[in-house]
Amino acid sequence: MSLSQTIEQWFAEAQTVAQLVAPMAAFLGFIALGIMYMGSSFPIIGQWKQDNPRAANQVVMGLLFVIAASTVASLISFS
């Protein structure tokens, strides 16, 4: 097996893993974001949000990164 074939195989496996993991991570991120917004009436979550005011922004940035990474992974193709 040549080096180019090994690299192609590695990227194909990385693409498969990324296509499996990205939707799950996005789903969990949206669930977490919903809990952060809707759960503010609970004292534990409300206190946590006061202690971490940038948490929602970081979750949204993470979701955008996951969506971008999954888009790039789905566009990678080897002929």
Domain ranges of the chain: 12-75
Spatial distance between the Cα atoms of 48 and 36, rounded to a whole number of angstroms: 9
Instruction: Check if the beta carbon of residue 30 is closer than 8 Å to that of residue 59.
Output: no
Show Cβ contacts of residue 46 under 8 Å, excluding neighbours closer than 6 positions. 39, 40
Q: Average pLDDT of the chain?
A: 82
Rg (CA), the chain: 18
Q: Is the pLDDT of residue 79 over 50?
A: no
Q: What is the pTM of this model?
A: 0.64
Residue 8: per-residue pLDDT: 85
